[in-house]
Chains A and B, each alone.
Chain A
Amino acid sequence: MIGRFVARRAAMLVATALVASVAVYGALFIAPGDPATLLIGGGKPPSPQLLAEIHRQYHLDDPFLQGYLRWLGGMLHGDAGQSLTYKDSVTHLVTERIGNTAFLVAYAAVLIIVPGVTLGTVAALRGGFGDTLVTVVTTALMAVPTFVMSVVLIWWLSVQWDWLPAYGAGEGFTGRLEHLTLPALALATAWLAYVAQVTRSAVRAELASEHVETAWARGVPERFVVRKHVLRNAAGPLFSVSGVAVAGLIAGCSIVEQAFGINGIGALLVQSAAKQDLAVVQALALITVVVFVVVNTLVDVVTAALDHRVSLEGTA
């Protein structure tokens, strides 16, 4: 059962990645005008010699399928072509920046999952005033989009209080930790609130379930009931939402990196899109989509492993 589930999810993953790659490559040709201008970028009218050179270099006059396979093959071998606006290889541009982005995403993921799950669990178990407080605060936080949270944090913690730097990514581990705290917070808050609320309702649902009643009826001590029944059974949904949150972070990076001037691949994606440097945009879009889909698939598979009912439902 679980084997079939994994196979189905993997097939879905490959299909989505393939459709994404066709769409990303095909973007070159659906644009009005000569696709070569998009590879040059910058929006200036290029010279005819340069256009001819680009056509030759990128095999733009080959049939679509042949060109697509050549491009995809290059991507898989780590050769994503040249950026003409940055005058650098796309691979180098990406590898230079991916460390900052990975650090940011990992940092934000920790900020989401640890406090989110803890707050939700405590609110559900304790109830009363703390529960209401958590609910109200998280409800308000969920409505604040990442970019608004970014400017609020810069204004409040960086300008008003001068606690943390508001710009750049920093050097080394501690430098990054210092510089990326505000961006990670901005990225994390809405998701943290969301994870806390889902945790709270999942834990409450388990607390009210019949099998937990059985455990109480048998005199099982509270700590075992909470750990072995409530948290164990809520683990599936918790892992699932945490994964959705992390996948969302990968796409949300663009906004935060722009807001905080971080030299990461999210900012690179936005800036090269603004310069219409399609070679970079294509590579980054494909990477982002693939990572996004892979994370989602992994989450689904792990959720199914944690909770056998999920894979059973899927096949029924």
Chain B
Amino acid sequence: MTTYQIAALGRGGARWSRLRRLTRGRGVLVVACAVVAVAVLAALFAPLLAPYDPDAVDPAAVYQGSSAAHWLGTDDTGRDILSRLLYGARPSLLAPAAVTLTAGLGGTVLAVSAAWLGGWYDRLVSALLDIVFGFPGLVLAVVAAAVFGAGLQVAVVTLSLAYLPYIGRVVRSAALRERNLPYVSALRMLGMSGRRICLRHLTPNLLPLVLVQVATSFGYALLDVAAFSFIGLGAQPPTAEWGLMVANGSTGILAGRAEQSLYAGAVIVVFVIACSLLGGGLSRQLLGDDR
């Protein structure tokens, strides 16, 4: 669902604006930075930090609560939940990072070339971006999963496509403004080639905007990837991935064993809030944007 929330951002109002205004002080931003840093470190050093092998099944220790041996308890096959959350940070962070970076790169290339060349090419690119924008990204990913088989790679590729317009549309209008600035025609009169102006001047000047867009899309992409794994079409068992862990744990809920789902869910929610705060902070810092 989250892709549509960004769609709404483009149309209606600023989704996180209140959140950002509430955190005008720097304190919350520091906490958000810390949360993201912890998650990244967990992903990097999971083998060192995790007390257990995340995939080690222990039939003697099924559904244990918190204890000194298993801080967050064990799941339905006796695997250590803390270890799985730490290892789970890897695909859970890497997949949305791949989505936003691909969409950021592709969106910038499309946007800058469309703004620079103009004419029918610009109209075609804009129309395509509009059409993809009006498309529910999750449905696109489901079709892709049906064709290529379920898996994280398929999800990443299709979501990258679905995220293109969120970055491409914003960057294109900024590139159009930039392109019409006097310094560009000055460079042209000096005989600089279009390609060089685009690469050396236009793109670097648009980079802060691209960065902000990528950063703010990251939280949404993480939610989309996790949701996709949750419905069984993303990461496949026995991979440790946060969305999949929420789904995995849900079988235990009716038996009163909600730990796995709730811990994984809490990790996702906390991380996404931290991301959106950071995105807002970055946007203020780089663009002087108070939205």
Spell out A's residues near B (CB within 8 Å).
12, 15-16, 19-20, 23-24, 27-28, 30-32, 38, 135-136, 138-140, 142-148, 150-152, 154-155, 158-159, 166, 190-191, 194, 197-198, 200-202, 237, 240-241, 244-245, 247-252, 254-255, 258-259, 269-270, 272-274, 276-278, 281-282, 285, 288-289, 292-293, 296
**17 A-B pairs in the complex with CB atoms less than 8 angstroms apart:** A16-B134, A20-B135, A27-B143, A27-B144, A135-B18, A147-B265, A151-B253, A155-B261, A202-B13, A241-B11, A251-B137, A259-B250, A269-B142, A270-B232, A270-B233, A278-B147, A281-B143
C-alpha spacing A137/B18, complex, angstroms = 11
Query: Hey, which chain B residues are within 8 Å of A255, CB to CB?
Result: 1, 227, 230-231
Contact B139 A285 (CB under 8 A): yes
Query: Hey, which chain A residues are within 8 Å of B231, CB to CB?
Result: 147, 254-255, 258, 270
C-alpha spacing A277/B273, complex, angstroms = 37
- A227 to chain B minimum Cβ distance, whole angstroms, is 22
Mostly, the B contact residues are: helix
Contact A241 B8 (CB under 8 A): yes
In the complex, whether B188 has a CB less than 8 A from a CB of chain A is no
| Identity of the chain B residue whose Cβ is nearest the Cβ of A143 in the assembled complex | B273
- B230 to chain A minimum Cβ distance, whole angstroms, is 4
Contact A16 B135 (CB under 8 A): yes
In the complex, whether B146 has a CB less than 8 A from a CB of chain A is yes
Contact A139 B18 (CB under 8 A): yes
Contact A258 B148 (CB under 8 A): no
Interface flags, B130-171, vs A, CB<8A=1, else 0: 110011111100111111111000000000000000000000
Interface flags, B222-256, vs A, CB<8A=1, else 0: 01001100111100000000010011011001101
Query: Hey, which chain B residues are within 8 Å of A282, CB to CB?
Result: 143
Contact B131 A251 (CB under 8 A): no
Query: Hey, which chain A residues are within 8 Å of B15, CB to CB?
Result: 142, 194, 197
Give the number of chain B interface residues (Cβ < 8 Å): 58
Q: Which of B16, B137, B142 contacts A281 (CB 8 A)?
A: B142
- A208 to chain B minimum Cβ distance, whole angstroms, is 15
Q: Which of B143, B150, B226, B258 contacts A159 (CB 8 A)?
A: B258
Contact A194 B8 (CB under 8 A): yes
Contact B258 A247 (CB under 8 A): no
A20-B135, A197-B18, A281-B142 given as contacts; is B8 within 8 A of A258 (CB)? no
C-alpha spacing A247/B1, complex, angstroms = 9
- B14 to chain A minimum Cβ distance, whole angstroms, is 8
In the complex, whether B269 has a CB less than 8 A from a CB of chain A is yes
Contact A139 B146 (CB under 8 A): no
Known pairs A142-B16, A148-B265, A244-B7; list 8 more (Cβ under 8 Å): A20-B135, A38-B146, A139-B18, A143-B272, A147-B246, A159-B253, A251-B139, A270-B142
Q: Which of B127, B223, B233 contacts A273 (CB 8 A)?
A: B233
| Identity of the chain B residue whose Cβ is nearest the Cβ of A297 in the assembled complex | B134
- A151 to chain B minimum Cβ distance, whole angstroms, is 4
| Identity of the chain B residue whose Cβ is nearest the Cβ of A272 in the assembled complex | B146
Query: Hey, which chain B residues are within 8 Å of A151, CB to CB?
Result: 246, 249-250, 253, 258, 261-262, 265
Query: Hey, which chain B residues are within 8 Å of A251, CB to CB?
Result: 1, 4, 136-139
Contact B146 A276 (CB under 8 A): yes
Q: Which of A16, A30, A158, A248 contacts B131 (CB 8 A)?
A: A16
C-alpha spacing A200/B108, complex, angstroms = 34
